[in-house]
Amino acid sequence: MTKTLLLLSGDGIGPEVTAQSERIVAALDAGIVTSTARFGGAGIDADGVPLTDAVLAEAKAADAVLMGAVGGPQWSGQPYDKRPEAGLLALRAGMNVYANLRPARCFASLADASSLKRELVEGLDILFVRELTGGVYFGNPRGIEDLGGGERRGVNTHSYTSGEIRRVARVAFELAAGRSGRVCSAEKSNVMEAGLLWREEVQALRDAEYPHVELSHMLADNTAMQLVKYPKQFDIILTDNLFGDILSDEAAMLTGSLGLLPSAAIGEAGTPGLYEPIHGSAPDIAGQGVANPCASILSLAMALRYSLGRPDLATRVEAAVEAALDAGARTRDLGGTLGTADMGDAILARL
């Protein structure tokens, strides 16, 4: 059956790296129909807003969305609704993608680029499942209140319902089946009520429906420590929005380059997922044809696996990227000289 992939290439290096993913889709010849739409700063310049209703509707109607990157110096400092990043948050909310999947996988040929010693990271393969649409980033009440006498108070609320916890925990437990079957849930149940609820709900769901999953609980501060002490102890790390933001960035640095790391955001089964590199628009190198396209191509692989029903092709694409790296193909960020399209060529040649 035909599947549809919407490309929102966005700003900066976004269009350059997304173009390489588009070449991969074409080469796979798997009946995946791509379309493109304006988004982010490019949307602001053309349409006055980063995300039009029409583009959001298109995203919700597609099987998957592959995003490039948004933002750039020309749009920073604008009012919130005129900022490219506002479009991204509106897209995530509009698509209701509440589970953020971020792999931290270390390619053997690049293990020396890690901030840790090779033996600690070689073979590293962690998958973060981060809650993306709740927690302290979204809880109410929030704001800055004036207490008088020059004193002010900033307020955010860390809040989760059992439903919000269970739906993201379910994603982690389902994914565990295709991996080693181990899930480590990270929170601060010793000092936070929402963290205590998190621990109870995750355990209850596991006991009721996923008895084969090996579940452990770890306080988030200890998780941060364990990640740099012995990262290979982890398989899936399930955590909330705030801790997931921090811990997944920490783990990213264990694997080397920003230009290699993909991500996915998924919601209810049967609804489209949103896939994007974790790097930004990299204005310092935009337009030069030197950006590393691997993160975009590996994001495409995640789309093939989780939204387009082709895990076989996902594995093929990932293997082609790894083979190109093993053969020494390197863009500038990895210490090499290949341009964006050359790296695309190297991967296509091994597909």
In terms of CB distance, is 14 or 195 closer to ligand ATP?
14
Distances from the Cα of 180 to the Cαs of 27, 111, 127, 131, 310, in angstroms?
32, 22, 11, 21, 21
Q: Which of 18, 21, 189, 281 binds ligand ATP (CB under 6 A)?
A: 281
Q: 188 an active-site residue?
A: yes
Angle at 186 between CA 318 and CA 279, to 5 degrees: 40
Report which DSSP code applies to 22: H
In the beta sheet, which residues pair with residue 37?
A: none
- Which of 188, 240, 275, 342 is labelled catalytic? 188
Q: Which of 94, 139, 181, 280 binds Mg ion (CB under 5 A)?
A: 280
Residue 183: name the closest of 155, 207, 158 by CA. Answer: 207
Q: 275 an active-site residue?
A: no
Distances from the Cα of 136 to the Cαs of 97, 147, 243, 270, in angstroms?
17, 22, 10, 28
How long is the chain? 351
In terms of CB distance, is 17 or 176 closer to ligand ATP?
17
- Positive or negative, the CA dihedral 136, 137, 138, 141 is positive
Q: Which of 10, 43, 68, 71 binds ligand ATP (CB under 6 A)?
A: 71
Annotated binding site: 72-85, 92, 102, 130, 221, 245, 249, 280-292
Q: 249 an active-site residue?
A: yes
Q: Which of 280, 336, 345, 348 binds ligand ATP (CB under 6 A)?
A: 280
What are phi and psi for residue 292, nearest 5 degrees? -80, 120
In terms of CB distance, is 104 or 236 closer to ligand ATP?
104
Which of ligand ATP, Mg ion, none interacts with 295 (beta carbon under 5 to 8 A by kind)?
ligand ATP
User: Which amino acid is it at 165?
Assistant: I
- Mark residues 33-62: x for contact with Mg ion by CB under 5 A, - for none: ------------------------------
- Residue found under tokens 């501060």: 221
Q: 146 an active-site residue?
A: no
- Give me the residues that bind Mg ion (CB under 5 A), please: 280
> So which residues are the catalytic ones?
137, 188, 221, 245, 249
- Give me the residues that bind ligand ATP (CB under 6 A), please: 13, 17, 71, 258-259, 279-282, 284-285, 291-292, 295, 333
